[in-house]
């Protein structure tokens, strides 16, 4: 995983109005099982790709903002592990920031 990934996610979170104080992020995020993190990461990716497609983007070999092409506009299962990790980091970071703001997470038995 590249450090830029975490830095980008942290920057986006720090710009939110609710982030009115420094927070310490726990990237291991022990609150949720990895299986659930993976399911949420898949959903995060699918929603991102769907929104991009609605905006006229399509899959391309390389990112090209002028042509609206991005290699990540693909099914989650076809992504490399490094590409999937971007979505996993997003999930862990959002959960950690919510917990730092006082939120609680309760899982139902299924």
50 touches 59 (CB < 8 A): no
Domain contains 1: no
Question: What is the pTM (predicted TM-score) of this model?
Answer: 0.67
Q: Would you say residue 78 has pLDDT above 70? A: yes
- CATH number at 37 reads 1.10.490.160
Q: Cβ contacts of residue 18 below 8 Å, gap of 6+?
A: 101
Q: Is residue 110 part of a domain?
A: no
pLDDT score, position 30: 57
In a domain, 54, yes or no: yes
Q: How many domains does the chain have?
A: 1
What pLDDT does residue 74 have?
Answer: 94
Average of pLDDT values for 63-67? 96
Q: Name the pLDDT band for 5 (thresholds 50, 70, 90).
A: very low
Average pLDDT score over residue span 52-60: 96
Does residue 87 fall inside a structural domain? yes
**Residue-by-residue DSSP string for 51-99:** HHHHTT-EE-SS-BTTTTEETT-S-GGGS-HHHHHHHHHHHHHHHHHHH
Domain residue limits at 64: 33-105
CB 69 within 8 A of CB 58: yes
**Which tops the pLDDT comparison, 20 or 67?**
67
* pLDDT value for 23: 46
Q: What is the pLDDT of residue 97?
A: 84
49 domain-assigned: yes
């Amino acid at each position: 995983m590249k450090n830029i990934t975490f830095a980008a996610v942290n920057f986006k979170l720090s710009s939110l109005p609710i982030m009115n104080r420094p927070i310490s992020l726990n990237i291991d995020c022990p609150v949720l099982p990895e299986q659930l993190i993976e399911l949420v990461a898949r959903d995060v990716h699918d929603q991102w790709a769907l929104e991009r497609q609605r905006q006229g983007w399509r899959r391309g070999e390389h990112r090209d903002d002028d042509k609206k092409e991005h290699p990540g506009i693909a099914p989650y299962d076809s992504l490399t592990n490094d590409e999937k990790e971007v979505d996993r980091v997003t999930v862990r970071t959002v959960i950690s920031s919510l917990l730092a703001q006082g939120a609680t997470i309760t899982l139902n038995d299924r």
